[in-house]
Every structure is written in structure tokens, then in C-alpha cells.
Amino acid sequence: MSRDPIKLTIGLGFTGVLALMGLISFISLSQMNTITEQTSTLLDETNTKISTANSMRDYIRLRGDTLYKMYLTDDYFERDELRLEIARHALNYKNSRDILYSFHMSAREAKLLDQLMKQTRRAKAANDTAADNLLSNAPLEDIKNDMRIANEARRNMLAGLTQLVTLQEAIARSTVNNTISYQETVRSIVLLLSLAAFFVAVFIAQLVIRETSKKNSEIHFQATHDELTKLANRKEFNHRLNEAFKTATDNNENHALCFLDLDKFKIINDSCGHKAGDALLIQITKIIKSNIRSHDTLARIGGDEFGLLFEGCSLDKAIELAEGVVSLIKNYEFRWEDRKFHIGVSIGMVMITKDTDSIEKALSQADIACYAAKDMGRGQVQVHGLTDDRALRLQKELSWVAGINNTETSKHFSLYLQAIENIQTEHTPAMYEVLLRLNDSQNGTFVSPGYCIPTAERFNLMKDVDRWVIDQTFKHLSKLYNAIPDCDVRLFINISANSLANSGFSDYVIQQYKKYNIVYDAVCLEISETKAVKNINQTADVIAKLRRYNIKFALDDFGAGISSFSYLKNMPVDYLKIDGKIIKNMSHNTADKAMVAAINQIGKVMNIEIIAKHVENVFTLNQLKEIGIDYAQGFYLDKPKDINEQIHDLRASDRTHSLKH
């Protein structure tokens, strides 16, 4: 049975703390009692030894004093009594000595006692001889000599006993010092154990606090988020809406509220089961979150319904983000058990401003707009109350985006070719840039690429456009090869940042080469410098992979960035196309002319050919020739022609022989 590791850690931690505290108490009590008992015993024993040694000294003095009294008195009976008193002092001395011998002795004490024993025997013999002579009326000279010998022996014994007392006092001091040192050691051990217990307790307390906080956060998250997608739930979404409403009212901020309803979700849920539906919802959540800002709120408010709050967002930006979501979901392919599905999303939007009456009304308006989006064909964004000029412009842009995604794309797009001329020598191959034009279905005119392409890029649609352009260009090249098998022509095709970020783009290009049997160097892929730098690692990977097939690359709008030159070593390209603004200004701006010359010089050093764009007059052309620029492109040299017309001219031209190897 598995156990919660956190609970186990906390339990073990508390057990460890209790064990440490018990160990501390045991050591403190037991060691302190042991120290006290040992110290008391040692001190008592030492004091007894000292007391006994002092008693022995006293008895030696008494025996000497008594012997001297015998010498002074002339009374025989008194001398006899004093002789008996000397014997008693000797016996008392012996008893004290026996007591001293009963204790454990150190080596030094034993040595001193051994010396003292020898001195005792000599002193006893001298004392006994002197006392006996005093009782026997021996000659005075003999008695005095005996007294001198006895006194000398007594002094030696006293000196020995003094040494013994001094030694025992030193032993007592050493014992006390050792006891103090041992107490300090025990105190240090107890302190370390106490600190260990404290830190373990602090760790456990922090762990408990952290886990409690984590559990509270999990409980709060579960209460405010959807269990499946982990998105905010309806309750939390309404709370954030109310906060946004306050900032709109109080601070005059603008927010966008969106209702999202998945199209064709029920088909997947019914045909594959709820497990498939859940998997799809999780993946759709990731797709939507990848296209919105980090501070925006995405919430699941129903089975296949989502709420989206763009905080601090203008209408233009909100529509851009919402259309990006529509495009991403439309292009997403859901796979389940070898089956493929495509779904869509309808989005209703309403702005929350200082004029918004209430959140309830805003929710109702967003809901109505979402239903309107479904009624108008699904897969689109419907904004509540769009009636002003800005709205009309946005709607027109969205119609262009719809054209990009339309299955009949060829009716909306046209391809044009503009020549890139070698202005230094006669050259082969003939080079052209492929230009994209979008037909305005309302008035039959062409929409400028400056309008339609940025719109497509904003909505992440240029990947599809790039692939369409590549496919159509290769198809025209294939037809040209059929008509002129040995033709030598190179077409420059612009690719977008969307394609650079697409992992399958390189493989798609190679497939098209093989499909149409095109010579690899017949096409040069053109990348804008700003887009290349923004995705420099992805760009370098794409270039490295395709250059293995001898596919050419050009870096467009070069010089627009401050650090343009520093990126060249990471992006090995074949052509640099100088930014058109620099070319236009070089005729009256010496700094721009110097920059063109510098770019040309760098190109020569790195073996990169230079192309000047936007050449609009002969004066600019002559300056470019003087600097040594290789190629030029612009309305002065050639105006864009429909690709079909240009291919027809190549077939019929007398220059066909110059296009042969």
C-alpha cells in the first residue's frame, strides 16, 4: 500500500525530533547524575586520604612530643606511663596508615607510601630504642644520640606525609578540572543535539506550512478552474469580468469579451466518444492559449463553449487575436484512432468600456454575437455593434483573410514577375521576383501586398499562402521546362515568418522540387531581414537544411536593421537585397550612398551577390553601377507582368538562345 511521501516525511521528522529530545533528556540526566556521583565519590575519597595523612602526621608529632616528655622527666613511673602513650600513638598511626592503604592509590601515591613505610620502620626503631634507654637509665650521651636519631626519622616521616598530602590535593584539583571538562563536553553534545532538534523542527514546520499552503492553493485552484482543461471556470471568469468592468468604469480602460463556440464538436463527441472529445478540448485549449497574450483570460464555461477576456485591448487588436484563433483552429487536424477531423470556432465579441451598462448585458451581447457568427456561416468573428468606418475597414481586411483561406484560392490570387537585371555584365540566368497580388472581389481591382500580406501574417495564414505560391510557381516553371528544356531561369519567392516557424516547411519545398522535377538552383527563397532576425535560429535551421540541396537564399530589405552585418555569419545566403528606402535616398543622402557601398564591399568579401531594389530613375542606376552593385530591380528597369504573360514572352523571345547553357 503506497503512502503519502510528505506525510511520511513529516511523521519521520516529528519522530526524529521526539527521539532527539528524549536522547537529550537521557544524556543530560544520566550523565549529570554520573558526573555528580563520580565527583562526589572522588572528592570524598581524596578528602579522606588527606584527612588520614594529616592524622598520621599528628600521631607522629604526638609520639615525638611524648618521647621528649620522657626525656625531661626524672620520674620512672611517669616515664613508664609515657612509654605506654608512645605505643598508643604508634598504634593509632598504624590504624590510620591501614585506612590509607584501603583506598585505591595512584602510582605516585603508592611510591610515596612505600618510602613512608621504610621511614616508619626506621623511626619506630629509633623511638623504641630511645624510650627503652630512658627506662633503663642508660648513659645520657647514648640517650641524646638516640633522641637525635628519632627526631631526624620523625622529620623525614613528616616531610613524606607532607608530599603525600600535596599530591592528594593535586589529585583533587585534577579531578575537579576533569569533571569540569567532562561537563563542558556533555554540555556541548547536548547543545548540538538541541540545535539538531531545533533545525529538524524548523524544517518540519516549514514543510507543514508549505504543504498546507500548497493544499490550500490546490483547493482554491480546483474551486476556480475546470478540472479537464485547467482553465478558469465560469465562476472565476465572472469574477475577472467584474474586475475588468470596474477598471473600465473607474479608469476608462477598454477590454474585449468573447464567447467561443466550437463548430462540429458534437460530431466527434458522438462518433468517437467522450474520451476523444476530452482530448480534443485539451488540445484546442493549448492552441487558443498559444495565440493570446499571457495576461488574457481563457475560461471553459460549458461543454464546448469558452469565454475569452482580452484585458486592456483595443478593438483592432482584439479582432486580430480572435481571427488568429479562428484560423489556428480551422487549420488544426484532430486525429483519433486513424480518423481525421477538422473543426472550427465561431466567436462573438463585445467591447467592455466605460459606457457598458453591466456585465450581464455584455455577456448577453457576446452570446448573441456568437450565435450571429454561427448563422452567418460559422468559423468567423462577429463583433456586436460594428457600424463605424474603422469597423468597415476591419471587415474588409477580414474578407481578404477569408479569401486566403478559400478553397478556390486561384480566383483570389494572381502571380506577377518582375525582372532582376544584371547591371554590370551580360548575365545568365534570367532572374525574376515572384510577386503576389490579391483580387478585390468588390471592385475588380488588385489589393496592394502592403495590405493583404500583413493581414495574413497577423492571422498566421501566410503559411498557406506561401505554399500556394510555391506550388503555382513550380507549376509554371515545369511548363517552361517543357517548352524550353535547356532554359536557365531563376525565380525569387518570398517566404514568411509563419513558414520559417513551421517544422514541415523544408520537407514541403523538397517535395515540390521532386514533384515538378525542377532544378534546385532554379528557385531562390527570399526572407525579409527583420523576420529572419526575429526567428534567427529557425531561419538558420531552414537555410542549413535546404542548402544541402543547392537551393539558393536571399536576404531581403537588408540594411533596415541596426545590426544587419552581424547576422550574416549565422545566415549563409547567396544574395542580399538592399532595403528600398536606402536605394531611394542614396541620390540625395551621402550616408545612404556610403551604406550601399559598405554593403557591397561586405558582399564581395563574403562572396554574396548584391541586389538593389526600388531603382526608379537613371541617376540611381548610374550610381549603383559606379559603386559596383551586381543587380538592380525596380520600375525603371521592368514593371511587374502577369506570370502567364511573362512565361509566354520567354517562350517567344529572340533571347531564348541566351537562356541556354
CA angle in degrees (0–180, nearest 5) for 282-286-291: 150
For residues 286, 288, 294, 295, the Cα torsion angle rounded to the nearest 10 degrees is -130
β-bridge pairing 333-336 and 489-495: unpaired
Provide φ and ψ at 643, rounded to 5°: -60, -35
Contacts of 539 (CB under 8 A, 6+ apart): 500, 527, 531, 532, 571
Reference 396, options 440, 458, 450, 453; nearest CA is 440
Cα gap 657→653, rounded to integer Å: 9
Three cell numbers at 75? 620520674
Cα gap 10→168, rounded to integer Å: 56
Give the other-Cβ count within 10 Å of 345's Cβ: 29
DSSP state of 337: T
Answer yes or no: are the C-beta atoms of 134 and 71 closer than 8 Å.
yes
Helical (H) or strand (E) element with 109: helix 107-135
Three cell numbers at 9? 516525511
DSSP notation for 54-81: HHHHHHHHHHHHHHHHHHH---HHHHHH
Q: Is the peptide bond before 429 cis (omega within 30 degrees of 0)?
A: yes
Reference 17, options 222, 195, 187; nearest CA is 195
Residue ranges of alpha helices (H) inside 406-491 are 449-458, 462-483
Cα gap 484→574, rounded to integer Å: 26
Beta strands in 249-353 (DSSP E): 255-263, 297-300, 305-310, 333-336, 339-342, 344-352
Cα gap 649→476, rounded to integer Å: 13
β-bridge pairing 344-352 and 631-632: unpaired
Q: Which of 261, 296, 304, 556 is catalytic?
A: 304
Provide φ and ψ at 352, rounded to 5°: -105, 110
Give the other-Cβ count within 10 Å of 629's Cβ: 24
304 counts as catalytic? yes
- What are the residue numbers of the active site? 304
